[in-house]
Structure 1
Amino acid sequence: MEVNVKNVNNIISKVYKDSIAKELGIEEGDLLISINEQPIHDIIEYKFLMSDEYLELEIKKIDGQVYIYEIEKEYDEDLGIEFTNPIIDQAKSCRNKCVFCFIDQLPEGMRETLYFKDDDSRLSFLQGNFVTLTNMSEDDINNIIKYRISPINISVHTTNPELRQSMLSNRFAGKLYSIMERLADAQIEMNCQIVLCPGYNDKEELTRTISDLEKLYPYVNSVAIVPVGITKHRGHLPKLDIFNGEGANQTIEQIHEIQQMYLAKRGTRFAFLSDEFYIIANRKLLEYDEYEGFIQFENGVGMISKLEREIQDYLEKLPQEKIEKSKKVSIATGHSAYEFIQKVSSYITEKCPNIEINVYKIINEFFGETITVSGLITATDIKNQLKNKDLGETLYIPRSMLKADEEIFLDNITLQELINSMNIEIVPCLNEGQDFVEKILK
């Protein structure tokens, strides 16, 4: 059958150096037709078939010639290729209309990709995205079990069927727990997320949800609870409150009690609050070891404790030539991390007395002042609020302000454009202690 290369998704976009594919002469632009005579429909099928130790690859070259490559390899050895479409298929869009959906609260004029709501279990497996499981067919569920798609990250929010249907505005949303039970029976590992909304799924409903999820332990590995965020652009949406100090304190007490119960029962705290709750409540975070390996780090759980420990550890072994460095720099951060960044900056200046660091709090005028995390700061707010400040020779920003695979801000301004307009070197830093310190002392 003739295959039109321009109209398929499994075109090879990259071949890694010293890989099996490179050795065989497979090139960018080639088309993967099948593995062991089985057509490849998505990345999950590809990953599953790649586990075989003997492969017959059917490849169509750019000139139209089709070749069969016979490969013997280790079961966990990869071909060393990437595809133009990472999942070799169209991503499934979200069918929900969640009361707390952040995308529905976005203004116009941002990066185009930000307006696409994905809800695809394959992206959960590949990229760590959280999915609601509301648009999964029976075949989708069977494929997760068949191809051992694990771990899968699930946006739970509540296990109360009626409440979940209401919060997600989807009549299929109440089927969640029965699907999770099937996945647990198949020993599929799950990490769960709860976006906590005052007056909806908090208090007794939160306790119920965590209790239901704990029954699926160890296949439900952990639960992260994050506070809802609302922007100034949700005037057309239902009223939604955010957490204040009192509400955050009550939630912390509730979760600490639950953690102690499961620590005694399961040997794990199981449910974890994001750092934002402690910042809102002006409370001390858990100790480093109490985060149990930071299994929900990407949800902002323990991020501050982890970064502080890494900075302290790295400074302890700092060589003398770096201690003697002399420079004046600045750091831009969001409201919620401001005091913490001031604190860890003082660790650096105490160790390196010739380093001067000015930390600047960026108020989120683009989304509204209720949005306080650094990852949602725009280039526009940085430029407007720092234009008359003493920034020294370099301005450092969290890497989370930029798109994961591209140096561009949420408001569609590139890092280079901001550098040009501010006429200063701007360096993104990872949420890692060594990277943070090394870049400042570079």
Structure 2
Amino acid sequence: MTAERYGEEIPAEGGRIASLAPDGAVAASGIEVGDIVREVDDEPVHDILDWQWLTADDEFSVTIEREGLLFEADVHRVPGEPLGVEFEDVVFDGVRQCANACAFCFVAQLPDGLRPALYVRDDDYRLSFVYGNFITLTNLEDRDVQRIVRQQLSPLHVSLHAVDDDVRARLVCPTVDDTTLERIDELLRGGIEIHVQIVLVPGMNDGEVLGRTLEWLASREGILSVGIVPLGFTAHQRRFERSFSADESHRLVHSLEPWRARVRASRGIGWVYAADEFYLAAGEAVPGSAEYDDFPQYENGIGLVRSFIDEFSETIDDVAIVPSETVLVTGTLFAPVLESLLRRFGLNDRVRVLAVANRFFGGNVSVTGLLTGHDIIDAIREDGADARYLVPDIVVNSDGLLLDDVPAGDLAVRTEAHVRVVGPDAAALVNALATPV
């Protein structure tokens, strides 16, 4: 590694190295954990995508900052060899925030007092590509589009909601000129494919408005899939009092069938998928796995129920007997699914479901992943059974905390019950059922 570049201005962006493979090419160049990567071949590095793009060659120069000084390191690697470097963050220059005022924004409906990270309204195309986060495109600049196309950051995940200008103005409430539709066409022309999300609000973007939105999207082959999810609202807002009723959910699900048949005939896929919540609200069975194709909207919560049912059915034969009375902790939305499976496989004599109401958020929030520690603790205390309680780990973050910062380990301590946190998939649940206390 060459000597310090004294007196030079240190670039603003850069990513701090979290770990290095000791036998990797980057470590061999003299770069160390904790160093901040500023440039590659004199090009600034704004995020991990820049790093991957700029280090595609087998030889390159890296400018790093260490203790306030700049160093140059020449990296040489064997063709195809991984560089062996991990960064602390995916983006190095801060997550781009949403500048819209969407009528249904869930983050804006959160109560005060939660951890700061929960209030971040990210609208960053880089996180859309890396993690599948849905973005609005309203903050996209020309240079962003050029970069996305140049680096082929595809597919992206876009929250569209409607194509009618008036509806978008009332629903998305952009604070800048809304060029989202033009941006989508620009990206499609550049070879970028897109998964779309539509948050459906009763009386605003459903019915004929939804039909026009689907017509616009269906005419563009680069739109890989469309996921339709219902409005979710908490008790900490005053605008919404209801989402979709059972009858409305039934009509919505069946209104999509002609669209699915039309696109399946031309592309071989169902293309537009209703969220699991619509089927459960309507009291209807979720479609078979073939209807979800390759589950393109799985990370958006579409197809989770079908996947769980199928996996549970395939693995439950491994359970000869449940060794102790067991209570499955879940949200009110998923509780009927679990209860049906327990009856179907004759497990309801030893296993039952504890449906936990979401008192913390209120409103129509009923998914398991948004349950808080206090609500789970209260529900287990009220249940009061001499049993083991299985809690899915989707309620816990990577630091072992629930949404209200209750540590997962406190669930057992504060309920004085046998509480075990298990994986969220059916196979993990089946394994837990067969495991003695």
Q: TM-score, normalised by structure 1?
A: 0.90
Q: After alignment, is 57-66 or 131-140 more displaced?
A: 57-66
Alignment of 1:66-215 (within 5 A): 66-74=71-79, 77-170=81-174, 172=176, 174-215=178-219
Q: Structure 2 vs 1, CA of residues 250 and 38 (structure 1 numbering), >3 Å: closer, same or farther?
A: same
Aligned identity (percent) is 27
Structure 1 residue 3: Cα displacement:
7.5
State the shift of 1:440 in Å. Answer: 2.9
**Whole-angstrom CA distance in 2 between matches of 1:32 and 1:249:** 53
CA, structure 1 residues 326+25, in 2 after alignment: closer, same or farther (shift >3 Å)? farther
Q: Distance in 2 between matches of 1:201 and 1:173?
A: 20
What is the match of residue 368 of structure 1? 362
Alignment counterpart, residue 221 of structure 1, candidates 224, 230, 236: 224
Which structure 1 residue ranges, 5 or more long, are not aligned? none
Distance 2:11 2:417 in 1: 43
Alignment-mate amino acid for residue 335 of structure 1: T
Q: Which residue is 2:425 aligned to?
A: 432
For 1:5 and 1:379, the matched residues in 2 are separated by 44
1:329 corresponds in structure 2 to: 326
2:282 is aligned with 1:269: no
Query: Does residue 1:46 correspond to 2:40, yes or no?
Result: no
Tell me, what secondary structure is at the counterpart of 1:94? coil
Residues 196-236 of structure 1: per-residue CA shift (max 9 Å, x gap): 0011100111111111111221x21100000001111102x
Number of residues of Structure 1 aligned to a counterpart in Structure 2: 430
Instruction: State how far apart, in whole Å, the 1-side matches of 2:267 and 2:155 are.
Output: 20
For 1:327, what is the secondary structure of its paired residue? coil
- Residue in 1 that maps onto 2:289: 288
Q: What's the RMSD between the two structures over aligned residues?
A: 2.5
Deviations 1:26-76 (A, max 9, x none): 43211213223322122221121132233333334459572413222445x
Q: Which amino acid in the other structure matches residue 406 of structure 2?
A: I
User: 1:161 deviation in Å?
Assistant: 2.3
Deviations 1:148-180 (A, max 9, x none): 111111001111223212211115463211111
Structure 2 partner of 1:300: 301
Cα gap change, 1:440/1:23 in structure 2, threshold over 3 Å: closer, same or farther? farther
Is the deviation greater in 12-21 or in 393-402?
Answer: 12-21
The yes-or-no answer on 1:401 pairing with 2:395 is yes
1:234 aligned residue (237, 256, 265):
237
Which of 377, 380, 383 is the aligned partner of 1:383? 377
Distance 2:20 2:328 in 1: 38
Secondary structure class of the residue paired with 2:264: helix
Instruction: Please say if 1:415 is aligned against 2:408.
Output: yes
Structure 1 residues 430 and 225: alpha-carbon distance in aligned structure 2, compared to 1, 3 A threshold = farther
Counterpart-to-counterpart distance in 1, 2:8 and 2:419: 47
Inter-partner Cα distance in structure 2 for 1:281 and 1:224:
17
CA contact (8 A) 1:245 1:281 kept: yes
- Give the Cα–Cα distance (whole angstroms) in 2 for the partners of residues 246 and 71 of structure 1: 64
Cα distance between partner residues in 2 of 1:99 and 1:267: 35
Contact 2:242–2:364 (CA<8 Å) still a contact in 1? Answer: no
Is the 2:35–2:65 contact (alpha carbons within 8 Å) kept by the matching residues of 1?
yes
User: For 1:320-369, what per-residue CA distance to the aligned partner results, in whole angstroms no more than 9, with x for missing partners?
Assistant: xx53562222211111100111233446665xx9x922210101111115
Q: Tell me how far 1:249 sits from its aligned partner.
A: 1.1
Partner AA of 1:280 in structure 2: A
